[in-house]
Chains A and B, each alone.
Chain A
Amino acid sequence: MGAAPVILDIAIRLAAVLVAFLTLPLIVGQMEHKVMAHMQGRLGPMYAGAFHGWAQLIADGVKFVQKEEIVPDAADRRVFRLAPILALLPYLLILMVIPLGPDGLVAQGLDIGLFFVLAVMGVGVVAVLMAAWSSGSKYSLLGGLRAAAQLLGYELPLVLSAASVAMAAGTLSLSGIVEAWQPWWLAWQLPALFVFFTAGLAELRRPPFDAPIADSELVFGYMTEYTGLRFAFFLLAEYVGIVVISALTTVLFLGGWKGPFLDDSLGWAWTLLKTMAVAFVIIWLRVAYPRLREDQIQRFCWLGLVPLALAQLVLTAVVKVA
């Protein structure tokens, strides 16, 4: 292969990630509208554009673009403007290393993909703190401090449960983990699956872990002062986050591209199907559960998830050695 095909190859891979980055969150957003509308008997999201309200998301997009962009007087302008972009960036990087199918169907396979994902995900906290502090509003600051405390706390069970799978598979490569995965791991790694999914939900600050943006207490937390496109950036980051956490749960715990049939040719379809199924559960939980109080969130993390993740590590080690 010459130099040109290599560049072409890289370009195609990057373009594919960009397309996934731009479409998958919108699909999840559309799914959220519809699923919540059905579960709660809402009429609004079923109205725009006649059939099943298909145009609601487009209407939302047009609304965000039209809105005036306001930077509060008391804000630190540069940091305020930078925060939404920094919130989006880590997820874009993570999408690059998530394997879609067998035989290197991944934008950039990494030898230590799992570690990379966890490291980059931690950078998102900086964006939240930047948005919270630079807004110059007490609601933003309180929301940001809640978010930072939550993200720092839940990072521990997230890393521990991911470490359990890495131990079981004997590799940090995401493709390698899927290759090593066998159906009985569903039972073996069940506690880790629960911990990872729950901690991931908390990392996304989605209900029931949405105390940082609790609209009945803090207006909208660290996003209170944002309008227009920059606010849309934060929303987009949340939906890309859902895609990323769902995809990671799929790859680490649900066997990625392995399905009951046609693994080799239709692997990517299995990955996407499982990812969307997990995303559906995330939306479902938003409708089903009330918001946890701030102290309940911390309690659940340190007294529930962390010991469970440690117990899972012991279990993994025992089975692996035996």
Chain B
Amino acid sequence: MTVTDILLLALGAVAAGSALRVVTTTHIVRAGLWLVVALGAMAACYLVLTAELVAWVQVLIYVGAVVVLLLFATMLTRAPIGPSPELDRARFPAALIGLGSGGGLAALFIFGYRWGKAELAAPGTAGVLGKEIFSGWVLPFEVLSILLLAALVGAIVVSRGERS
């Protein structure tokens, strides 16, 4: 086992453990804070896999913006300190879906790769990723930007409300 393997295992354990805390804790804001830990550990995994840019994009977008917006919205509406069990719902459907999709993905990977060794791609520096995106992946990139634009326009339309 190399240092990389050990680091990946440890970070994966942190990510899985804190993800579990996100769904088991009864403190609603703490759930959001555990999500920060889980996403941070994921970013660290990317870093270990030498996908530098993706790791910091993860921090910038997910930790710095998405979770913050989530916390912000929770605090604007209802965020009591202490447990709020009345917000809980029956767990087993969610557990079923979570375990099913997680297990399915794991099975897919195991059948896809077996225990063979995959070639490690070149480190994901900004230059490499930029070349990839703007050569092989231009069309998906542009389609995604149209999707985001549509979402933006939709948000504006929704927030302006009905014209009387």
A contacts, CB < 8 Å to B: 74-76, 79, 110-112, 115-116, 118-123, 125-126, 129-130, 132-134, 136, 141, 144-145, 148-149, 152, 155, 172
Q: Is the CB of A119 within 8 A of B60?
A: yes
B82 at the interface (CB under 8 A from A): yes
- Is the Cβ of A76 less than 8 Å from the Cβ of B81? yes
B55-88 contact mask (Cβ, 8 Å, vs A): 1 or 0: 0110110011101110110011001011000000
Do A122 and B59 touch across chains, with their CB atoms under 8 A apart? yes
B36 an interface residue at 8 Å Cβ cutoff? yes
**Which B residues are in CB contact (< 8 Å) with A122?**
59-60, 63-65, 68
**B75 lies within 8 A of A123 (CB):** no
The answer to whether A152 and B65 touch across the interface, beta carbons within 8 angstroms, is yes
Give the number of chain B interface residues (Cβ < 8 Å): 26
> How far apart are A16's CB and chain B's nearest CB, in angstroms?
23
8 closest A-B pairs by beta carbon, nearest first, are A122-B64, A119-B60, A119-B56, A119-B59, A76-B81, A125-B68, A148-B72, A129-B71
- Rounded to whole Å, the gap between the CB of B18 and the closest CB of chain A is 14
Residue of B nearest to A132 (CB): B75
Q: Is B27 in contact with chain A by the CB < 8 A criterion?
A: yes
User: B125–A111 contact, CB under 8 A?
Assistant: yes
**B contact residues vs A (CB 8 Å cutoff):** 27, 29-30, 33, 36, 52-53, 56-57, 59-60, 63-65, 67-69, 71-72, 75-76, 79, 81-82, 125-126
CB distance from A30 to the nearest CB of B (A): 32
Which chain A residue has the least Cβ–Cβ distance from B74?
A133
The residue in chain B whose Cβ has the minimal distance to the Cβ of A159 is: B60
Q: Can you pick out 19 interface pairs between chain A and chain B where the beta carbons lie within 8 Å of each other?
A: A76-B82, A111-B125, A111-B126, A112-B125, A115-B60, A115-B126, A118-B60, A120-B56, A121-B64, A125-B64, A125-B68, A126-B63, A126-B68, A126-B71, A133-B75, A133-B81, A134-B81, A144-B75, A148-B71
How far apart are the CA atoms of A145 and B29 in the complex, in Å?
14
| Minimum distance in angstroms from A248 CB to a CB of chain B | 16
B53 to A145, Cβ gap below 8 A?
A: no
Q: With a CB–CB cut-off of 8 A, which chain B residues contact A155?
A: 64-65
Cα-based distance from A79 to B82 in the complex (angstroms): 11
Judging by beta carbons under 8 Å apart, are A123 and B81 in contact?
no
B64 near A123 (CB under 8 angstroms)?
A: yes
What is the bound-complex CA distance between A209 and B74, given in angstroms? Answer: 24
